[in-house]
Amino acid sequence: MDIANADEVRNGRVDEGRPRLRILAPSMALDPLGGVEICTLQDSVALAGRGHHIDMLYGSDGSLRPIYESAGVGLFGPYSFALDKRRPIRTLRDFAPAAKVARDRQPDVLWLNRFEHIVWGQIVARWAGCPIVCHLHGPPMYRRLREVSRGVAHFIAVSEFIRDAYIAGGLQPERISLVYNAIPQRQYPFGTVEDQRSARRALGLPEDARLVLCYGQLSPDKGVPPLLKAWRMISSTNPKAILVLVDSMANDESSALEESVAHELRQLDPKSYKRFPMTSNVVPFLHASDVVVFPTLLKEAFGRVVIEGMAAGRPVVASRTGAVPEILSGPMARFLVEPNAPDELAAKLGSVLRWRDDEPELGEKCAHWVEQMFPFGRHVDQLEDILQRHRRRSAPRQHAG
């Protein structure tokens, strides 16, 4: 299911007894640059579907605009969110237009999705006279967390890994709630064998190949060079295996790659891989694949790719780093590999490629795991509850003009 279908994201209860919130939220871009932008989109549409009013302040326009608009989300921008420490006075002046919009919209709560924009958030929230709820999608960016986080009513951590990192940095545990990331599973439907054939025909991929999918930012930090080294080993013994690369940062197949990635790609047989540009709809690629790989070297805050792939009925081989082991736990831990270990990655991918023959029920097990462990309805319930608990209690201030 395309993420452009807002109706598919609305999920869960509409409690007529609870007040409707006016929520102000920023997004760096109205494009699917990464997991934060997609999480913000899907959560916003879900909250709007429950009757809350969302005003989104964005940094740059993009392909997600129609989705927000169809959900009734107000869009304002473009604005700057980042603090330039070399030119603090000028940066603060740059924040003024967004702060004025926030004051005029009179939100009940500012829902901040990037802690690195906390200075912007504090200034805007002060102008708007509302509390801040900060969603922690990444590791701490500042040394003095307690000082920087003054004025934040509450924090939401997307994993135990992230919650523990902020507690270690000085935040009080009672100020942080754990709300695991989740996806509207209907947007990532289970892919049957027939779905696989149809997707491959539509994408121009061979129907008889073994396909491994890697999507997102094709960068060194995301472990792409080790993956390409592993793929050289795999393709030498599996000539019909194809690595499908979908680059969330590229607008076309000729877009430049970082040199370490480009170098490893040049070592591959051109017939052993296929590269695609950014897309807002990864489902055809998920359905076309046999296996999804997430070879990141980063201490991931969560790992949306893992649950997206599993929801579609595909095993996901992923690095044992950050919060990823919280997703691939218990019986799914067998798909973890050490980061930056091409030999181990090649061996694991090679052993999983033929799962349809060796373990035909595996696809359904993966989809069921996501449904049971990371349900989207529960995720939105928890998010909504926190925003309700920490909303502005007094009447909004009236401003002239």
For residues 64 and 121, membership in a common domain is answered with yes
CB 352 within 8 A of CB 329: no
- What residues make up the domain containing 51? 6-182+376-389
- Res 400 pLDDT > 50: no
Residue 98 lies inside a defined structural domain of this protein: yes
Residue 317 and residue 349 in contact, taking contact as beta carbons nearer than 8 Å: yes
User: Is residue 327 in some structural domain?
Assistant: yes
Are 132 and 277 in a shared domain?
no
User: For residue 319, which amino acid is it?
Assistant: S
Mean pLDDT calculated for residue range 337-347: 98
pLDDT (tens digit per residue) in 167-183: 999 999 999 999 999 99
CATH number for position 323? 3.40.50.2000
Whether the per-residue pLDDT at 360 is higher than 70: the answer is yes
Residues 279-294: pLDDT tens digits? 879 999 999 999 999 9
Q: Which amino acid is at 235?
A: S
189 secondary structure, DSSP code: P
In a domain, 319, yes or no: yes
Residues 174 and 190 placed together within one structural domain of the fold? no
Is 399 among the domain residues?
A: no
Residue 257 and residue 203 in one domain: yes
The answer to whether position 291 is within a domain reads yes
Q: CB–CB of 349/282 below 8 Å?
A: no
315/244 same-domain check: yes
Same-domain pairing of 127 and 21? yes
Q: Which amino acid is at 223?
A: G
Question: Helix 304-311 crosses helix 35-49 at what angle (to 10 degrees)?
Answer: 60
The number of distinct structural domains making up the chain is 2
Distance separating alpha carbons of residues 120 and 112, to the nearest angstrom: 10
Beta strands in 130-240 (DSSP E): 132-136, 152-157, 176-178, 210-216
Domain shared by 162 and 24, yes or no: yes
Q: Is 1 a domain residue? A: no
Q: What percent of the chain has pLDDT above 70? A: 94
Identity at 261, one-letter amino acid code: V
Same domain, 112 and 248: no
Do 283 and 313 form a contact (C-beta atoms < 8 A)?
Answer: no
Same domain, 190 and 89: no
- Alpha carbons 113 and 120: distance in angstroms, whole number: 12
Residue 320 and residue 209 in one domain: yes
**C-alpha dihedral sign at 65, 67, 70, 75:** negative
> Quick one: DSSP state of residue 253?
T
Q: Is the pLDDT of residue 3 over 80?
A: no
Give a yes or no: residue 149 inside a domain.
yes
Instruction: Answer yes or no: do 208 and 287 share one domain.
Output: yes
Q: Give the CA distances from residue 294 to residues 90, 222, 266, 381, in Å, rounded to whole numbers and listed in that order.
A: 40, 8, 21, 28
* Higher pLDDT among residues 279 and 376, named by residue: 376
- SS3 state at 211: strand
* 396: in domain: no
pLDDT in tens, 72-130: 999 999 999 987 777 767 777 889 999 999 999 999 999 999 999 999 999 999 999 99
Mean per-residue pLDDT over the chain, rounded: 92
Residues 280 and 351 in one domain: yes
pLDDT band at 395 (very low <50, low <70, confident <90, very high): low
Closest listed residue to residue 329, CA positions, set 377, 373, 382: 373
